[in-house]
Structure 1
């Protein structure tokens, strides 16, 4: 069985504001996978090498073409930065930050590789993940040719357990997708060149079928909500594994998914463990997202839920 290549990001990074081309985003994906495979607690300052052979195999391009794309992406990544928000652990207040993606990046012709060092702010957002993160298989975005499609897929898949995002204001959406202020100012152009193009590619190449609803203030569009479904063939092949109707297949201490869901919805359980999620994350805003995340975390490591016996929340 082929090992799954998983892209895993802290939700603060998924929701960050930045503009990267397709090649730059692909380098980031491969570097994230390499970093996590080498060591989940990768040290700041550690170099990572991404080889053209790997890039070509993953994104279905010739090795020479892959290396040329990687070399062009070096300059873009060196200059690129991103803006993100996170809750301060000491005060609980929301902070707003700017960071670069890399401290150093270059290429080695004779080896056919790009070498990079992630910036110190990036490392915990891709490796030291315990609470709020999004993961998906790299193959889901491998065939996407639009940088907007890649970013939109990431933003949508945060809400996988719900099937629908919260309302995203137009200005926020433009920034998160990396649309420059001078680009596609007319709504018709924004839809045609960004949203509709991205949705078309997502529906064709990924594991979800997506669409959007518009929100208006009078006749002016002010935001969008994205709704989506997992494709039936993905469910059938096992890509989507957790289903409440099959709860008895996934147990912890003899408890089914339905029972774990009841535990997660218990007001006492929520009061005991609401500190585990940010109020700005999907799980902090939607009960279904909360339930989904808590079930997964209970299965992953029930020992972190130690304030009282888990079965007590069923009473």
Structure 2
């Protein structure tokens, strides 16, 4: 018997390290879907559970707009794209896809996802070997390389530093084929720094609970490895409070939006939060602001109050 799972209730995504270090390539849209899916998974879920991704919810969380074709391409790729997970101890290599199925419920703005059963143990079995990372932080990163490096850094966030050979690092980001059958991307270290490392570190430091810096290490005259230095920090973005009831979580997120818009008048704040239509207007305004549908170079808060009919004439 199948069952449906509602919106996220866990504060952190937890992901088995075998997945974190597996070799795979995803677009930013695919990663956003996967992060959302991971937040829905529960250890006690039955085989055959379907997970509902609400498109508008995902877009509001990320501040990014994905059209239908992008979603369709993303779920199609997630069904066909494989993880390669090596178990050296048992001398086994698993090739597996993440999704068994994806079904679009037209008119409802919902995508129902089914996880491949071979993948489920790596996502659900969290007793010892897992990575945890904040959902909001993962969503705030726009670069696919930043998302990937954040996963990797989160795996080692209790250590002061971690070193990867450039070969292993590029393999995990799918920039290099370990068998050498495909051309290597960013073969020049300067390009790897500019296109991957610098972008990832800048976004992670700005939007997440981690502070990173890196150094490139040489062997002889050639660069051989990259060392990441990892520190915890208070994130600039308030993490989504998924452990709280959804009504309370929505109110807290709305309060954060009002603070970001510099709307601090207690009377206005109370009026907005007590009116669900105004709260909906607020979320819609912030979403349009983030996606460029609304332009407000100065006084975005005043523009919201004006459009919501809250400014005194």
Whether these two folds match at TM > 0.5 is yes
Q: TM-score, normalised by structure 1?
A: 0.65
Q: Tell me what 1:17 maps to.
A: 23
Q: Is the contact made by 2:39 and 2:135 (CA closer than 8 Å) also made in structure 1?
A: no
2: distance between equivalents of 1:214 and 1:76?
33
Measured after TM superposition, the shift of residue 192 of structure 1 is 0.8
Question: CA–CA distance in 1 between the matches of 2:227 and 2:64?
Answer: 34
- Residue 155 (structure 2) pairs with residue 152 (structure 1): no
**Aligned-residue offset at 1:94:** 4.7
Give secondary structure in 1 for the equivalent of 2:139. Answer: coil
- The TM-score, its normalising length taken from structure 2, stands at 0.66
Change (3 A) 1:184 1:96: same
Aligned residues of 2:211 and 2:232 also touching (Cα < 8 A): yes
Aligned pairs for 1:60-139 within 5 A: 60-61=63-64, 65=66, 69-86=70-87, 92-139=89-136
Aligned to 2:169: 173
C-alpha separation in 2, matches of 1:139 and 1:234: 10
Computed over aligned residues only, the root mean square deviation of the Cα atoms, in angstroms, reads 2.5
Alpha-carbon separation, structure 2, partners of 1:107 and 1:188: 43
Cα distance in 1, alignment partners of residues 55 and 135 from structure 2: 16
> Is the CA contact 2:137–2:208 (under 8 Å) kept in the aligned structure 1?
yes
Q: Measure how far apart 1:130 and its partner are.
A: 0.8
The 5-angstrom pairing of residues 1-315 of structure 1 reads 5-36=11-42, 40-61=43-64, 65=66, 69-86=70-87, 92-165=89-162, 167-180=163-176, 181-231=183-233, 233-234=234-235
Post-superposition CA distance 1:233-259 (Å, at most 9, x none): 459x999xxxxxxxxxxxxxxxxxxxx
Contact 1:152 1:198 in 2 (8 A): yes
The question of whether the paired residues in 2 share the 8 Å contact of 1:8 and 1:136 is answered with yes
Q: 1:111–1:141: structure 2 CA closer, same or farther, 3 Å change rule?
A: same
Deviation of 1:75 (Å): 2.1
Residue aligning to 1:282:
none
State how far apart, in whole Å, the 2-side matches of 1:52 and 1:112 are.
6
Matched with 1:251 is none
Give structure 1 stretches of 5+ with no counterpart.
Answer: 240-315
Cα pair 2:10 2:40 within 8 Å, conserved: no
**Whole-angstrom CA distance in 1 between matches of 2:216 and 2:194:** 14
Deviations 1:108-148 (A, max 9, x none): 22221222211122111111221111112101121111111
C-alpha distance in structure 2 between counterparts of 1:156 and 1:170, whole Å: 15
| Aligned-pair CA distance for 1:200 | 1.1
Count of residues in Structure 1 that have an aligned counterpart in Structure 2: 226
| Cα distance change on mapping 1:234 and 1:61 into 2, 3 Å | closer
Local SS of the residue matching 2:199: helix
Bigger helix share: 1
Contact 2:208–2:235 (8 Å) recurs in 1: no
SS at 1:19's partner residue? coil
Answer yes or no: is the 8 Å Cα contact 2:98–2:116 preserved in 1.
yes
Assess, with a 3 A threshold, how the Cα gap between structure 1 residues 234 and 31 changes in structure 2: closer, same or farther. Answer: closer
Q: Which of 101-110 and 49-58 deviates more?
A: 101-110
Asked if the contact 1:22/1:145 (under 8 Å) is kept, the reply is: yes
Question: For residues 75 and 114 of structure 1, do their structure 2 counterparts lie closer, same or farther at Cα, with a shift above 3 Å needed?
Answer: same
Provide the secondary structure at the position in 1 that maps to 2:37.
Answer: helix
